A and B are shown apart, each in its own frame.
Chain A
């Protein structure tokens, strides 16, 4: 069966520090991969998606970047965090050519202080 791993679960970082969140998927190949952010009391906002290695699409201009160095690995990064980067970051995967049902990792709760 397929599983998705995200780490760390919780992160507290000072303003201006770098960020690296990692997500890996097991039990499937060539998935679509996604990064979302959920601010407190808000809906999920799609940040990036990837249909393959090295292929990244950005949905909103921001202080973040994403990379997909391997088929089942998706990384979210920032060189310098802002206070507004605080939130709940969720990675998700879906099967290509399907109804696009997405399955989420457990998420990383980021607090920028």
Chain B
């Protein structure tokens, strides 16, 4: 079973739309949670951390439900520049290591 599962999409949405991505993780010992953004043929870049109380950064809102082991990302008022692959990432502390586990990503295309 994969540590992190995401809907691969693609999500094709018009400019100005609101879009939501979901992610589930399998290890209840997961300690911290993130969304990364990866543009085509580029490296992943941290978009935002995800906190249990939910957090917002401009048009982006992240939510974490530890009981359901579920993470979400909401993008409001989509821009063309939001087109990218969004990676759900979980940090799990294992014996002697503290490693990130990445979902395969959800691809978003914002259409003019």
> Which positions in B face A, CB cutoff 8 Å?
4, 31-32, 34, 41-46, 49, 87, 91, 96-100, 102-105
A4 CB → nearest B CB, Å: 9
- On chain B, the residues within 8 Å of A12 by CB distance are none
Number of interface residues of A (CB under 8 A): 21
Instruction: Find A103's partner among B31, B42, B46, B87 (CB 8 Å cutoff).
Output: B46
- On chain B, the residues within 8 Å of A42 by CB distance are 104
Q: A99-B31, A100-B99, A104-B44 are in contact. List 20 more A-B contacts (CB 8 A).
A: A32-B98, A43-B4, A43-B105, A44-B87, A46-B99, A46-B100, A49-B97, A49-B99, A59-B99, A90-B43, A99-B32, A100-B98, A100-B100, A101-B34, A101-B46, A102-B100, A103-B46, A104-B43, A107-B42, A109-B41
- On chain A, the residues within 8 Å of B97 by CB distance are 49, 57
A31 at the interface (CB under 8 A from B): no
If over half of B's interface residues share one DSSP class (helix, strand or loop), that class is named, otherwise mixed; here it is strand
Instruction: Find A43's partner among B45, B46, B91, B104 (CB 8 Å cutoff).
Output: B104
Q: What are some 7 contacts across the A-B interface (CB < 8 A)?
A: A32-B98, A42-B104, A44-B87, A49-B97, A99-B91, A100-B98, A100-B100
- On chain A, the residues within 8 Å of B34 by CB distance are 101
A87 at the interface (CB under 8 A from B): no
- On chain A, the residues within 8 Å of B43 by CB distance are 90, 104-107
